[in-house]
Amino acid sequence: MQSKSSRQMIDEQTKQLIIDTARIDDVVQDFVHLRRKGSGFVGLCPFHKDRHPSFIVTPSKNICKCFACGAGGTPVSFIMKIQNCSFVEALRYLAQKYNIPVPEREMTEEEQERQSEREALYLANEVAAKFFTEQLLSSEEGLDIALPYFTQRGVRSEAIQTFGLGYSPNDRRALAKYVEAHGYDMESFVATGLLYASNEGRPSADRYHERVIFPIYNVGGRVVGFGGRTMRKADKIAKYINSPESIIYDKSRELYGLYQAKRAIARLDQSIIVEGYLDVIAMHQVGIENVVATSGTALTESQIQLLRRFSRNVLVLFDGDEAGVKAALRSIDMLLGEGMQIKLLVLPDGEDPDEFVSKRSRTEVEEYFAAHAQDFLTFKSQLYAQQMASDPQLKTQLMRDILQSIAAIPDSLERVV
Ligand SMILES: [Zn+2]
């Protein structure tokens, strides 16, 4: 049930306009790959482990429904369920999608307190993301130091916009001062990890100071966290600092770049998994947009389920070093277990995807992928073949390993193929 206070935030007239404007097929399509069927659409249900398309979208009635698990409803209730958000949050999401202005009025102190904590954290991230981008593109320090850093790495201005890249200044209190000066709620910035809380007389401070910023968007396009990369080389400090988990950020459930990639994934019916933020951006820049990154964490089941909403076909790209191969081997069984169809690709000469694509045209990259992508059986066999030459005992291990992968496939039909 919605509390009265959260309803007050959007007036009745605007609410009705949003409800009247949102089209079910259009809304669902942002999350589920739909195929036309009769006068409606079908797709894999995003709310249960759906093997065959059970999710029906009926534009004439402006509703959707899964005939297997029963989930579905109007555009608003679909968004509430898939984003796990409130009624008002769903309305705001749809307003943003359809460019419907939501008249904002000054909130009273009481309303501010009652406003949902989640919304406050989203707002903090939104404010910070804008601040970081302004610092990158308009401050002297950003233009002198951070923008050239991106330029040297081949990141162009279009990608800076698409991925909302930014810069957190050297001043350890740059964002903290901005938050104070604008009267934003400091606690929300602490809760999202943007600021360290003031402590024993020491004032609050920025987490990401003197780093370039990669915002992490959820599938609906809201900023849930940040990655901050140092521009210094060979330093003792961590290369990346990432947001801690919060009520809006669970890193095992987010994939970097999915928001920007989801339409391309659905259209091409394939996703590509890479490791890093810059890999995703580099691929986009050559025109390959169906790319996501796990950003340093091992692939999780939740991430695969998220990806599967858009396509069951996935190409896993990794650099040929030992860590890369190990990561790929770990991912294979998990992907198979979630019913994904996998191809694997090792890049030559230990290059990462960023280096690889920046030297090639889109056609060259696509041709290389087409020629070298392997199914998991071929991939594993080849990997072990080299080692087996020196150690025949490995043959048993290879067989066991491959059988284990096959056993992970849930659909017996696919085991045969
Ligand atoms: Zn279902």
CA distances from 389 to 32, 378, 383, 392, 400 (A): 46, 17, 11, 6, 18
CA–centroid distance, 265 to ligand 1, in Å, is 21
CA–centroid distance, 353 to ligand 1, in Å, is 36
Q: Are 59 and 27 in contact (CB under 8 A)?
A: no
pLDDT of residue 258: 93
DSSP letter at 348 equals G
Mean pLDDT score, 24-36: 93
CA–centroid distance, 66 to ligand 1, in Å, is 5
In the sheet with 166-168, reading across from the earlier edge strand, the strands are: 166-168, 211-217, 223-230, 240-242
CA–centroid distance, 31 to ligand 1, in Å, is 14
Q: What is the sign, positive or negative, of the torsion defined by CA atoms of 273, 277, 279, 282?
A: positive
User: Predicted confidence band at 124 (pLDDT cuts at 50, 70, 90)?
Assistant: very high
Task: Please indicate whether residue 373 or residue 321 has the higher confidence score (pLDDT).
Answer: 373
CA–centroid distance, 78 to ligand 1, in Å, is 12
Residue 109 pLDDT > 70: no
CA–centroid distance, 51 to ligand 1, in Å, is 10
Mean pLDDT score, 336-355: 87
CA–centroid distance, 413 to ligand 1, in Å, is 22
Residue 98 pLDDT > 90: no
| Overall residue count recorded for the chain in this entry | 417
Burial class, 113, CB count within 10 angstroms (exposed 0-12 / middle 13-18 / buried 19+): exposed
Distance CA 11, CA 92 (A): 12
CA–centroid distance, 79 to ligand 1, in Å, is 15
Domains of the chain: 4-97 (3.90.580.10), 116-249 (3.90.980.10), 255-416 (3.40.1360.10)
User: Predicted confidence band at 9 (pLDDT cuts at 50, 70, 90)?
Assistant: low
Residues 6+ apart with CB under 8 A from 301: 334, 337, 338
CA distances from 96 to 10, 15, 264 (A): 13, 13, 21
CA–centroid distance, 56 to ligand 1, in Å, is 10
Residue 30 pLDDT > 70: yes
In the sheet with 35-37, reading across from the earlier edge strand, the strands are: 35-37, 40-43, 55-58, 63-66, 72-73
Q: Is 344 helix (H, G, I), strand (E, B) or coil?
A: strand
Q: Is 263 helix (H, G, I), strand (E, B) or coil?
A: helix
CA–centroid distance, 417 to ligand 1, in Å, is 26
